Amino acid sequence: MKTALVTGSSRGIGKAIALRLAKEGFRIILHGLRLSKGLETTQYELKKLGVTTIITCFDVSNKVAVELACGSFLKKIKKIDVLVNNAGISKDRTFIKMTDEDWDDVIKTNLYGTYYVTKQILPNMKKNGYGRIINLSSIAGERGAFGKANYAASKAGIIGFTKSLALELGKYNITVNAVCPGYINTGLAASIPEKYRTQFLSQIAQSRIGEPNDVANLVTFLAGSESSYITGAVIDINGGWL
């Protein structure tokens, strides 16, 4: 049985990815910042599918916490086949109002978090001669976004990280790809004022908001054997955002 670690998998896109991978037969390591009702609910839904799960809780922006938690579950599970770096936050402000804390928190969680977790899981993949690393970036990392200088910078960094790591790991049978969602129906999207939602939809060729399962389907493909010749790719999933 193959094992996938999905960070930030208590809700939204991360939860959809965990459930979708489980349906493909993966054992799932669920992750959250702390034990929450959402994380327990996700585990319950996976158990109903007959899927083996482990819950791990740690702050991806804390190097020591990442090292301790990953070290703990790697003692129980000897092979991690798939790593999905999904955990992330946003703290939106126009740049002139953005504080150092706003900047640091988002960069540390989104970019450093991807680095810290990958750093711990990669030796296991190299040892086993196989791996799929899938990093969640964003359309904001490609185009920028108003009031999201910190978020866009973190997601652009993930793209550069993905492309560089792919060059290093190809010879080890490890692929590294990034997925860039557009406007997806998550809790974050629901907080966007109606006038802006209407504006966003007018720029999308399919004239609809995406669903977490749309992203999960793409991630599941990248996690499988049929994507073995895809690495260093940055794949948009945005309904044709013009």
Please list the active-site residues: 151
CA distance 179 to 197: 22
- For 241, phi then psi, to 5°, come to -70, 115
Cα torsion through 186, 48, 4, 105, rounded to 10: 40
* Contact assessment for residue 33 and residue 106, using Cβ atoms and an 8 Å cutoff: no
Identify the CA nearest to 89 among candidates 188, 18, 186, 178: 188
State how beta strands 82-85 and 53-57 pair: unpaired
* Contact assessment for residue 32 and residue 40, using Cβ atoms and an 8 Å cutoff: no
**At residue 55, what is the residue type?**
I
**At residue 96, what is the residue type?**
I
Joined together, the tokens standing for residue 191 give 């907080």
What are the strands, taking DSSP E only, across the chain?
A: 3-6, 27-32, 53-57, 82-85, 131-136, 174-181, 234-237
Joined together, the tokens standing for residue 97 give 């109002």
Q: Which residues pair with 131 in a beta bridge?
A: 174
**3-state class of 139 per DSSP?**
helix
